[in-house]
Structures are given as C-alpha cells and as structure tokens.
Amino acid sequence: MFETQGDVFIIRDYQKQKPFASFLSGIAGPMGIPMWAFYVNRGQLMASFGIRDKNGQMLEFYPANQAYHYVYVNGFRTFVKVDGTVHAFFDETNAGQSMHVSRDQVSIKETSKALGLDVTVTYYTLPTERVAALVRKVEIQNLKAEPRQIEIIDGLAQILPSGLDHGAYKAVSNVLQSWMSALHQDGYVFYKLRASTGDTAEIKEMHEGNFYLTLGLDDPLYISDTRLVFEEDSSLRTPYPFIKHNMRTLREMPQAHVNQVPSAMTGAAFTLDHRKVFYSLVGHAADETIIHDLLKRLSPDFLAEKEVENKRLHEDLVAGIETKTAHPLFDQYLKQSMLDNIIRGGTPRVMDTRKGPIGYYLYSRKHGDLERDYNFFQLEANVYSQGNGNFRDVLQNRRNDIFFEPRIGDFNLYQFGALIQADGYNPLSIEGIRFRFEGDHEKLPEAIRHLLKNTFTPGQLATLLDQAGLPADSTLKKVLKQSTAIIKADFGTGYWEDHFTYLYDLIDAYLAVYPDHLVKVLFDKRYPFFQSPVDVLPRSEKYVLTKAGKVRQYGAIRHLPDQASGWLMHDDQLVEVNLFGKLLILVLNKFGHLDPACIGLSYEAEKPGWNDAMNGLPGLFGSGVSETIELAKLVDFLLDTARKHPDARVVSLRDADLLANAYLQIEEKDAMKAWDARMQALERYRAALKGPRITSEHQARLTVPWLEHMKKTLDKAIEKAKAIDIVMPTYLTYEATSYTPLLHEDKTAKTGYDGLPLVKVESFEMKPLPRFLEAPARYLKARSTPEEAEQLYRAVRKSQLYDRPLEFYKTSESLEAFGHDLGRIRAFTPGWLERESNFLHMTYKYLLGILKAGLYPEFFYEINTNLTCFMDPRIYGRPPIENVSFLASTVNPDKKKHGQGFYARLTGSAAEVLSMWRLMFLGARLFHDQEGVLAFSLSPKLPASFFKDGNVETRLFGNVHIVYHNPDGLDTFEKDVAIQTLVLHKTGEQITIDGDKVVGHLARDIREGFVNKIEAHIGKIA
C-alpha cells in the first residue's frame, strides 16, 4: 500500500487512501518563471495551478475540501478508445493505480490488464524559461505482443483565461464567460479575455493569456469546446461524442470558442507498438510572441531534458544537507524538510552591493495552498523570483542558513534587526528586497536607465536586459555593485509578542560560525528603526468595562492614517544605533510590560504570542511565560557581552537610557505597584518617541546595572512560574478585582473601544490557564539544568500533554472548562488545529528543547514516534517525509482522523528539523574564539543505531563532506566518547590532527571553503 524506492514515495490504490493535499515546489530556477501547482490524491491529481497568486489561476482554485471533489470534474482526464471501447483512465473505481511522489515531480500510473494498457502521467513545472508552465507527460505502454489501434482524448476539462479576478469569478462566473475567447493558433490554443472586465470608464485590451499545446502526437486535434467531448453532459463525466464517433469524425465537428469556460484537451489516433510518450504544456504568456519564441525550441526531447534539469535543480537545492545514516527515510526527510524550509524562507543568493555582500532570497513565499485557503499567497512571476512572508515565519526559516551559505554573514541579522521598532515591536509582513542604483546613470545602457531611476528588483532588471538583447548576468552584477539593498516591510495586521524571541536564535547561529566577529557585529554596524503607522495605546485608553460588567483590554492599538510605513527619522536623517543598542532598546521595552504578577510578558498590543488561535488572550490581560524565558536569555547574552567588553561603545536612544534608569528606581517588593511603575515609565518612553529621536553613546559598562536589574527581576519571574506548577504555565490571565471609572472634567465617562467606558485597574487576580507545551519547550531549550530538564521532561510525559495511544505530544491539555473568550482555539474541535492537537512545529520545538538540554537517550527515544518520517503512513495519511501543520490527536471525536496529518509542508517544523540536524550531526558551537585564535570542532550527538557499517556522512557549508567513523558502535553523546583524530582534505593535501579541535589558519580554511572533506574518527576517551 505504501513503499519507498529511493527518493520516491509510492502509494498503491491512492484514491482509496485518506485524502491529502500537497503541491509542486513552484521553483523554476533563478532564470525561470515559477508556477504554483496544487494536487490531491484523487483523480489525476492536479486540483489547481496558475501564476503569481489566486488571480492567476488557470485551473480554478478550490479549497481542499472542495478540491477533492472538483478534481474529478474540472481536472485532467484521459479517455482511451481501443477495440471500439472507451476507457476512462484514473477513474476512482479502476484498479491497478499508484501514485509516485518526489521532490521535483508527482506522477500516477494505472495498469489495465483487461485492456492490456499501462498509462503513466507525470507532472513537473518548466524550469529556466521565460514562461511559467506545467508540463504533463503521458506514457502509454502496450502490454500485448501485437500493435494496437489507439484513439485518445487527453487534457483539462476546464481552463480559465488569464486576467480573471479570483473573487469576481467565484461571484459572477456565468457573466464573465462573455469575455472569454479560445484562439486556435498554429500549434497551440491561446485563452484570453477580449478586454478588461471592470465596470470603469477606461477599458483595456488584453494581450496576456494562457496557452495549451501538445507535443509527440501526429496532427493533434485541439479541443477547447467541452461539448465536443461531453456533448450536453454538464457533469463532464461521460464522453458521449467520443463513444459514438471516431477521431476522424470528431475533427469535422464544429467547435464554439467563445461565451463559455473552455477546455484544453487533445485528441489523436495512432498505432501503439510498444510505447508512446507525449507531452502537454499549460502555461501563461504576457503576449503571444513569447509562445512563438518558445515553439521554435519545443520538442519532446526538449521537455525530456527539462524533466532532468528540473530534478537536478531540486537536488542541488537540498545537496547541502545530504546525510547518510542507517535510516534512509530519515535521510530523505532531511532533504524534504530543507526544500520546504526554502519554499517558506527562501534560499540565499549572495550578491555584491555598494555596501557589501547581501543575501538575496529566491523562491520564498507566504504559506498558502489548498488547505491554507485563508492566505493570499504570492510567487513573483519573474526571474529571480522572491515572495512575501510573515516576520516570524521568515525569521525562523532562515535561522540555519549560515550553516549552508556562510557568505551571507550578518545580512539576516541586519534585515530583521533593522525591522525592530523603537517601541520593541515589528512589522508583520516582510516583502522582497529591492535595490536603489546609486551610480552614474549616464554610463548605463540606455535600455535600463528608466527602470533604474526608481527602486527595482533583480528580476525586473534581468527581464529588461533580456528583452534588450544585453548580457543579463554580467550587467546585473555591475549594476548591483553600485546599488544599495532596500528592506521592504509593512505593518500587516498586528503586533505579536513572540516575534522578538526568534532574533536571538539568529545571533546564536551567527556566532557559532563567526565568534571572532562578535564585537564587530554588535558594535560597529549601524541599524535603523522601522516605523509602523500604528501606536500601542496607554492603559488609560484601552482598559474598558464591558456591558457584561467585566474589565477587558480591547482596542489596544491606534492606526495613524496620515503616516505610512517607513523608517524612524530625526531632522530628516535616519535614526541609527548599533546592534547592541538595538537589542538593549528591545529588552527595555519588553521588560516594561511584565504582567501584574511580574511573571509573564503581557499581550498588551492586541495580539498574543506563538499560538495565534489564543487571540482572546489580550482581552483577558493575558501574558506569556514563554516570552519571559526568551527575554531572560537575551538579557543574559547582553549582560555577558557588556561584562566581557566594558569599553565597547553602545549607541542607543537617549530616551531608552532614561527608561533604563527609571526601572532602577522601582521597588519590586509589591508586584502590583512595581507593575504600575514600570508601565508608567514605558508609557512615558513611548510618548517621548513622538518628540526628538536623539541617540546616545556610552561605554557598555554603563549598561551593566540596567541589565543586572532586569536579570534579577526576570530570574525571579521564572522561579515564580515554576512555583505555580511543576509543568510551568505557558499562559496567565488576569481578572480585574477593583477598578475606578475614568471621567472627563465634567464627570462624564471617558470611552474607548466600541464606546465602552474606560477604567483604571487597581488590582488583579491571576488565573493560570491549563498546561500548554510551549513554555516547557522554551525552558528546556534556553535555561534548564540537566536535573531540571529531566524532571520537567518526566512531568510533561506524565501529564495530559502526552497522547499515550499515539505516543506524541499535544499543544495543551483540555480547554473544555474555559469560555470562548480565550479565542478561536476554544471554538475549534478538540484535537484539531491549535487546540489539543499535535501541532508539529511546537512538538518539534519541544524535541529540540530535549536535545539542547542534553537528554540524548530521551530525545532518540521520542523521535521514533514524533518525527513524521518514522510514523506509519497508513495512519499519517500522506508521505511521511513531508511535514504538516498538525496531526489530529486522540481527543478528537472523529476516530478515523486520529494520527492523520493536515495542512501540508509549509510549516515552521522544517526549521526545527534543520536545527535538530545541526545539533545531532555538527554540534552547537562549530567555531570558538580561543583567546584570540579561531578554533573549530565537531561535536555530533548520535546513537550507535544511526551508523551504517560504522559510518555516518553529512555536509557543512554545502560543500564540506563530513564522514564520522565509529567502528566500535559507540553512542557519540556519552561522556567517555570523543573524536580522537581529524583528517582534513584540501586540494592535493591531507592533514591529520590529533584530538577534536582545529585551530588557527586551518579553522579559517574550513570556514572559507578551502577544505572539501573532514573525516572524524570516534573512540573512547583513554
């Protein structure tokens, strides 16, 4: 039923298995145009595809629950007539079917013993071309000895012309047929609208369109009129004309090419000796001249070569994590996780600019697909394609990039550090990088001068150069060398409290490779402040009394309609600080809104933390212990740095320094009074940001008292959280127990959100929520001692956070006793989405925490039932090397869904897998600054069972081949086991080093790519 052959996962009788949705990668190479293509394990797979976003749909987009149905109707069909009988291949009732899933393509196969025919259909997207297209390869095998006379109709039952708005088509598809045309040209069909569809005075003629063509069949009959195949069968099920007539007769029948949703099908007749292969191409072109250029090169051999190229493209993208263990499925899982990490976070292409090298991220996108129908995803329909994403998602998915491409240096630190605002928050939406040319325009080729007067993308420039017949690659490099990268972002929909917590992971990864650059990266470079047109309101404007008599925090932010997203300025100049100063400002802001009990960080800006579905928490004065743990870690890092480098110059904001001094004056004995004093100081600081934004400069030693005060308070906060429950709470809520109405001078009530009266809260009662997995995961990763870690691990495993029948972890214990004011999580069915399910990203954060805490036997025990690659695919319901957002747990009332995975691939779990790989195969700290000398060491944490014939192989920096030799079958994480010798391979040279450490110029050679192989011999310490 389920099996693996190399990197191909095979599903027998795929239409009889649990339904699942997935997608092709949408990667077409740097010089290709990407296409999104979503498939399901039903019918002929392809449920929807198109360019750019949902408005570029070619096969109509339906959410997964509908796509499972419509794929049979609107999707690809194959009708074969042999011996006078028409057979519909890949009908749900047929036997002998299988589905084959690879990283670069997906295919289906049906063997009909009765007909003596075998049909295979393969889908992949067209790489490295200036058109976006889906390639469909059809192979027909004759299983009988004698030749067969075959007639076939194959293709899409419905295709949409380009230019249709997705929402408009859903609403008024019937009337929109009036604009549609299917133009039968020489060798292809062009599907377009005759003019723009908007009800406006300006009408635009449409030149762009979608196209369909077939190669490999003699004299193909192109069918755009569905009635030629289905007559008046509006169900599009039965090909009555094909049943009644031969292909010669069908050719003579008229087709209507207007006023209907067309089809994209091909008819043909041929003699089948042994095997017949033909290709169909469905794509988009800005105008028909692009298709004409493509046709000059198109042939079956060309598309066969493109299939090989597409596979090579995908394999090259994941080659940097190629790992060989005793578990081949795990090795493939690493590659798939890396590919999906790239799809969400992008892959860096290092480009030299006026201010030095930067990482230009190709292929990234905001997650959105058949299951995540709520997101309006975008793939830039251009060469050098880049996409948008959410701050949290992109930041996490780029966490490990430096271990694959060290040349990106501190670029990600700069990009995300710059986006931290002076109030400690950040924009949600991260856009692609643009560039501003700052060289001499007169020395540019005339064809590109107009474009470079404004900001531009590499894709725009490369396209223009290509159209002008100029060398794209060399000219692009010259232009970028004289250009500055422009970071683009937008406020989006809110301020989440957890976003800052992922910044330290980026710092930690950077220093694991460049520890000798710590002073340079923290104190030398200047960082601007992003500025969103949204303020966080003071308490006096957001604490309201509801009609039910409850005090709530509603309407916590204010949009400033006259202000656009941009950068913090003073006297028309960017306000800039160094990274240490930026992080100091960040921790001062976060420290200021510790909750009334001085335990969690308050969700005071209308959004919660990592768990989006807890959207009611801000209204309940909710706070997060997870964020406190992460803040304490960041404060510890800054304090340690300031103590080691007391003379380093910190560039900060003058008002932030005043805020830090104000905190020192606060008495912490009474938690409520301390909370009020901190919040007053923070609110004064935020008000001051409306005035002059003046920077300050001082030695790092000045920050030590500030940081020591915060550390002391935060350490106590965490101890308080641990005292509440052995499994520390993740969330706290507060109920106002006494308050005073706020009045105008005329004694009338001041009002806030929704006209509700504003109040001043004088006391709160703390109410912890049930146990969630997040705070334990964060604590294990960041702060636990070995003894604490083991105790916490045992407690979590004994709790209701552990799903015993399925042996995996859940997001939380039961929420049934709580009201719907927690958020949408309470409305979800238990065991579904974020509610009490195995939400894979959080489970993997917990596994990573176990690994970081040094609980190695426990970690390797847990991955057997928690990593999807080791799960039973019959239960998981999809290829186990593909991650999902969540698995339904056993508290879900639908027993058939228990253990099944939902919401494919585009999840933060991929980032956690890469972090686990790093710790398992490389170690936490690759490079060390050893008294001013650079040192390199490997520290794998692997059980003996991972070694095949005594060896494990992996890679570092994409091109360093690492081989661990473990002839005695030792667990490498045991205290008496270590690397005994290292062998470095350089071009024409082999160097043997006793021990586990490389120092000096050889360590630098490893980092700079002059070492291509490292062999590490593992043994017992004598």
What confidence tens digit (pLDDT) does each residue in 6-64 have?
A: 999 999 999 999 999 999 999 999 999 999 999 999 999 999 999 999 999 999 999 99
Question: 556 near 524, Cβ under 8 Å?
Answer: no
What confidence tens digit (pLDDT) does each residue in 596-616 have?
A: 999 999 999 999 999 999 999
The helix or strand, by DSSP H or E, that contains position 606, with its residue range, turns out to be: none
Which residue from 683, 649, 654 is spatially nearest to 570, judged by alpha carbons? 654
What confidence tens digit (pLDDT) does each residue in 949-993 have?
A: 999 999 999 999 999 999 999 999 999 999 999 999 999 899 999
Q: In this structure, what are the phi and psi dihedrals at residue 569, rounded to the nearest 5 degrees?
A: -125, 155
d(CA 818, CA 802) in angstroms, rounded, equals 20
For residue 125, list its beta bridge partners.
134
Residue type, 290: I
What confidence tens digit (pLDDT) does each residue in 835-888 have?
A: 999 999 999 999 999 999 999 999 999 999 999 999 999 999 999 999 999 999
pLDDT of residue 195: 87
pLDDT of residue 694: 96
* % of the chain residues with pLDDT over 90: 95
Q: What is the mean pLDDT of the chain?
A: 97
What confidence tens digit (pLDDT) does each residue in 385-428 have?
A: 998 899 999 999 999 999 999 999 999 999 999 999 999 999 99
- Which residue's structure tokens are 């200047």? 526
d(CA 670, CA 661) in angstroms, rounded, equals 19
pLDDT of residue 182: 97
Which residue from 494, 537, 553 is spatially nearest to 734, judged by alpha carbons? 553
pLDDT band at 735 (very low <50, low <70, confident <90, very high): very high
pLDDT of residue 995: 94
Quick one: average pLDDT of 912-931? Answer: 96
What confidence tens digit (pLDDT) does each residue in 223-277 have?
A: 999 999 999 999 999 999 999 999 999 999 999 999 999 999 999 999 999 999 9
pLDDT of residue 783: 86
Q: What is the DSSP string of 83-100?
A: TTEEEEET-TT-SSEEEE
pLDDT of residue 109: 99
pLDDT at 686 over 90: yes
What confidence tens digit (pLDDT) does each residue in 134-152 have?
A: 999 999 999 999 999 999 9
pLDDT at 626 over 90: yes
Helix, strand or coil for residue 250? helix
What confidence tens digit (pLDDT) does each residue in 529-548 have?
A: 999 999 999 999 999 999 99
pTM of the model: 0.97
d(CA 172, CA 721) in angstroms, rounded, equals 55
pLDDT of residue 815: 98
d(CA 900, CA 806) in angstroms, rounded, equals 11
